[in-house]
Structure formats: structure tokens, C-alpha cells
Amino acid sequence: MNVEELKKYPSIRRFEKLVNRGRITTGTYENYVKYVGQYCDLSGYDNPEIALEKINGIEDKETYFDDLIETLRERKVSDAQIVNIYKGLKRWLTLNKVDIDWREIILPSVEVKVEDRAPTKEELKKLLNIASLRTKALILVASSSGMRRNALVTLKVEDVKFDYPDVARVIVKRHYIINGKKFRSGRKISKKRSLYVTFITPEAKAMLEQYLEQRRLLGETISKDSPLFTSIRHKELGNFLSKEYVDTHWGRLLRKAGLDMKSEGHFVLHFHTLKKYAETQFINAGVKPSYREFWLGHKGAYLESSYFRGEEVKHLEEYRKAIDFLSVIEAPIRLTPQKVKETLREILAKEGITIDFAIEKASKKLGITKVTLLDKMLMQAKGKVKKKKKSKDCQVIVNESELESYLAQGYHFVTTLPSGKIVVED
């Protein structure tokens, strides 16, 4: 019996209430139906109604289902399949008010070890090279923020704040209402809070803006309540994507890129590995654990109650450390004193002058140490020449509306005064 045929039976249709009320997904529903069908086939029942009647007539149901495990094993049914069948049976029989003490049934131990890993930048580039504009935006937003698939498909346009000159801020709420139905974003946010915040890189922000503009050109009227990611079909513009669609589309993309390696039947680079990529790059960039755990949506004490106006500046400082690590398309060059020295050595070698001799002569002429000279060279190479300190007080009191402008000039947040004004420091 196939799944569609099974859905016609009354005992199976009880699953629909779970789907309609958001307790299980459509995919989970179909899996449960499939497992019940497998039980019927293996037990010789023509349909689930006959099976249900027979089960109701069994006096010691616990012994029957416990003995059935050995019967299925003798018929060469794998332990993993047995466990899945029992998952479907338990939900099906519970919905149909069949009283069974499932604690008395000892299922086989099944440990599925799926070997997955974070994708490399080269692998992400392969995917981006063949992806549509929407999928490029989806990949870059996911890989630079660490957001789960569940959160991505429930985001609305109003949840992304493009106010900063480089990054964009994303607000992830605990619950969303879509077409009158309530959905969870996928993060177990503390009961005291209804949202958390993360960020995306400049390249992700730019790609997202291009994608939104493309939708406008296609005739979609985008409002603050529009889905951030929607169908690419003209008649379906403005509809939210489903989790199942994202998984299916991701699998097709992996196959097209030749990156569809599998472990235990699952893709090694499944969609959730984009979150692993973000976490790996946060660690490589030296981001403080409390900040990266907060952005990744991990439940705990990580800044849950401390995301306020002043703290946001510190979040930005930490996230900006990771921008070049997270960036995929055009990752900025990370310069170090050693890199500067190696580059200068190559140039000076053509002139027959050693780097040590050049640094020695230059430092004496300028009246500074070799370390200071290298530091200045590095700052210039990065385009961040330090301004000469002014003799006057470098702290400034500004209004909230002026804060962003001062931060863009290189000022740092110091504190918020009782009056509501903010102190920044050059």
C-alpha cells in the first residue's frame, strides 16, 4: 500500500489534526503513514482498519508487540526499520485510543552515526556558482548568521535591519503567524524572551538586497510582512517556503554541484552544515564564546537578558572580527606584520637591499622603534591609519539618533547616562 492510498482510511486520517495544529510536519505525517503501511504489509493485513481491529482484539498487547520484534528480526528486517515502524505504530495506536504500555516493549538499540562536516569555502563557491539569486542569498545568509532552516523560512522582510554601513542585523522571533497558523522559529528561546538577534556579512547583505530588488522587478509588492525568501514561480511570489522544499532544493543543488556525498543515507553537507560553517568561522576569528553562542541560537545564559542598546555595540565589535572569515565570494585579505615583511622582502630583494637593513635605517631616521614602524606599516596596509590624539577630552556626549554616525567614524560606546544620552570615545 502506498502512502496516498493509506491516507483514505479513517484511522490514518486522525494524523491530519496533528498536522493542522502544527504538532508535526507534513513530512513526519507521511513517514508515520509509511511505517504503519510497512507493519500492515509485514503482518499480512490488507488495510490499517483490519489491523486496528485485530490489535484491539489482542488481550496482552504488550507481549504481542514485544514478541513481534523477534519475528521481524527473523524475517531479516533491520533494527533501524523496526524502530521506525514502532514509532509510527505508537503514534497511530495512541491517536486511535488503543491502550498500550509502551514501556514494556524493549526496542533494539540503533545508533546511526552520520558523518557530516562544515563545507569549505571552495565548496560553497561551487554551490554559489550554479545557484539562483534567491538560493545565493539563502546560502550566504545562513552561512554568515548560523540560523537554522526553520528560522530562515519563517523570516519576514521587517526582521532584517539594513541600517549599518556594512553588516545587517536579523531579528529571530520565537513564534511566527503565517496564514493564520502559528509556527516556531526553531530556537528554544528562554521563556522570558520572545526573540534573539544575529548578523549577516556585507556580501550576504548585498546579495539579499539584490534578491529583493529582483522580486520587485518581477512585479511583487514587498511589504514589511512579506516573506524574506519566497517561491521563484511568478504566481507563487509572496508565499513562504516550506522546510521540505528547502531540503529538496538543497539536495538537488548538491547533486548538480557534485557534492552529494552521503553517510548512512544522509548528505554529508546537509543544509544544517551551513550553521556548522558559521560556528567554525566564529571560532577561527576568535569571537568570544558568549557572543557566538548567542548568534547561533544556542539555549543558555549567553547574553539572554543583556541585549540592549549599549550591548549592541559590543555585539557589532565581536561580529566584525569574523566578517573576513565568514565571507565566501570576496574574502578580505587578512594582513599580519609577517605578511607585510614578506611582501617588502620580495620587493627589496630586487634592489639588493635586505628587509632588516631597510627597517633599521627607516626606524633610525624616523626616531621610532622597529616594532612601531612595522605597526604603522600594517595599519597603512589595512587602510586604518590611526589619527593623532587630540589634546582635548576624547569623550563625547551624543543623542541616540547621533550614535550610528559616531560609531561609523570609529568612536566606541562607553556608557548610557541617566538622562538617556550616550557617551562615546574616540
399-422: per-residue pLDDT in tens? 777 777 777 677 776 666 666 677
- Residue-wise pLDDT tens for the chain (426 aa)? 688 899 999 999 999 888 888 788 788 899 999 999 999 999 999 999 999 999 999 999 999 999 999 999 999 999 989 999 999 999 999 999 999 999 899 999 876 666 889 999 999 999 999 999 999 999 999 999 999 888 898 899 999 999 888 999 998 876 666 556 655 554 444 444 556 789 999 999 999 999 999 888 888 899 998 999 998 776 777 888 888 889 999 999 999 999 999 887 789 999 999 999 999 999 999 998 888 888 887 755 444 444 434 477 888 889 999 999 999 986 555 555 666 677 777 777 777 777 777 777 777 777 666 666 666 666 665 554 444 444 444 677 777 777 777 776 777 766 666 666 777 776
Predicted local distance difference test score (pLDDT) of residue 35: 94
| 8 Å CB contact between 375 and 337 | yes
334-345: per-residue pLDDT in tens? 555 666 677 777
Predicted local distance difference test score (pLDDT) of residue 174: 64
Predicted local distance difference test score (pLDDT) of residue 419: 65
Residue 69: other Cβ atoms inside 10 A: 19
Predicted local distance difference test score (pLDDT) of residue 308: 39
Name which of 117, 113, 112 is nearest 269 in CA terms: 117
Per residue in 315-347, is it b (16+ CB within 10 Å) or e — as a string? bbebbbbbbebbbbbeeeeeeeeeebbeebeee
Predicted local distance difference test score (pLDDT) of residue 303: 47
Q: Please give, one letter per residue, the 3-state secondary structure of 330-364.
A: CCCCCCCHHHHHHHHHHHHHCCCCCHHHHHHHHHH
